[in-house]
Amino acid sequence: MSDLLIRNLDESVKLALQLRAERNARSLSAEVRHILGSVAEESAPRNALAMIDAIFPPALRLTPEEAASFDGTDHASDAADFS
Amino acid sequence: MFVLDTCALSEAMSAHRNEGFTQWLAAQPPDKLATTVTSVAEISHGIMRLTAGKRRDGLHQAAETLFRRLHVHEQDRPCAWLAGTMIALEEKRGRTLKFADATIAAITLHNGGQLVTRDADFDGLATHEQFQGFLIVNPWT
């Protein structure tokens, strides 16, 4: 668990959140935790494909030649030196 | 836990991904995926051999981000011993298991994972009695 202090929050935003918290029978902190938690869950990648696509934008994807060279298929000297 | 071999990592980073592999990736929760320090070295080799510049810097950064998100299994002393044993036993059957591949297989087996690869060089390992627990997943189509 960690803490988050939010400075310069608009008064009207805070009031709206307080009203929302009362409606949901939660404290203001609990309400904000709930809101932040659901937003974080929505924006987290749902699967490994989405995660990788977020990290590697189209311009960074490997060409077939690059991918083949990454595979180690053309590494010249992989053998251990015991021979 | 699924341990991505170097070929699985480069497939994931590719512009033209294999259909079966892509579907498999889409079905995995991000926190079920791992890789090994060996593949970190192979991917680093692949990126750093490119011409210096913006693209290489971008790939370097993206790869670092990916490796922070994945579980990266280390190679400790038992894994290293296991890797050498694998090479020796494969040798006795007239097969060559490359040093890098042996470390990947050993780290995977030691951590109880399944290796995601299309590399047939791993196929012989599970035929040895002591490596029966070595499991391979090949989602390529």
pLDDT of residue A66: 87
pLDDT of residue A46: 82
Query: E-assigned strands of chain B?
Result: 2-4, 33-36, 71-73, 114-116, 135-137
Nearest to A70 among B16, B30, B42 (CB): B42
Burial class (CB in 10 A: 0-12, 13-18, 19+), B3: buried
CA–CA separation, A12 and A31 (whole Å):
16
pLDDT band at residue B62 under the 50/70/90 scheme: very high
Q: Helices H, strands E: what count in chain B? A: 6, 5
pLDDT of residue A75: 45
ipTM confidence: 0.88
> Closest approach of chain A CAs to the CA of B62, in angstroms?
6
Contacts of A71 in chain B (CB under 8 A): 6-7, 10
pLDDT of residue A72: 60
> Closest approach of chain A CAs to the CA of B22, in angstroms?
7
Contacts of A79 in chain B (CB under 8 A): 96, 98-99
pLDDT digits (tens, 9 = 90+) for A34-81: 999 888 777 777 899 999 999 999 999 999 888 888 776 544 444 434
Q: Do A47 and B27 touch (CB under 8 A)?
A: yes
pLDDT exceeds cutoff 70 at A82: no
Instruction: Summarize the confidence of residues B112-139 as an average pLDDT.
Output: 95
Q: Which two tokens stand for residue A5?
A: 């202090």
> Closest approach of chain B CAs to the CA of A73, in angstroms?
9
Contacts of B16 in chain A (CB under 8 A): 64
pLDDT digits (tens, 9 = 90+) for A14-47: 999 999 999 999 999 999 999 998 887 777 778 9
CA–CA separation, A52 and B9 (whole Å):
10
pLDDT band at residue A2 under the 50/70/90 scheme: confident
Q: Do A64 and B58 touch (CB under 8 A)?
A: no
State the residue for tokens 């070595």: B134
> Closest approach of chain B CAs to the CA of A1, in angstroms?
20
pLDDT exceeds cutoff 80 at B105: yes
pLDDT of residue A81: 46
What proportions of chain A, in percent to the nearest 5, are helix, strand and coil?
55, 0, 40
Q: Which two tokens stand for residue B117?
A: 């690869």
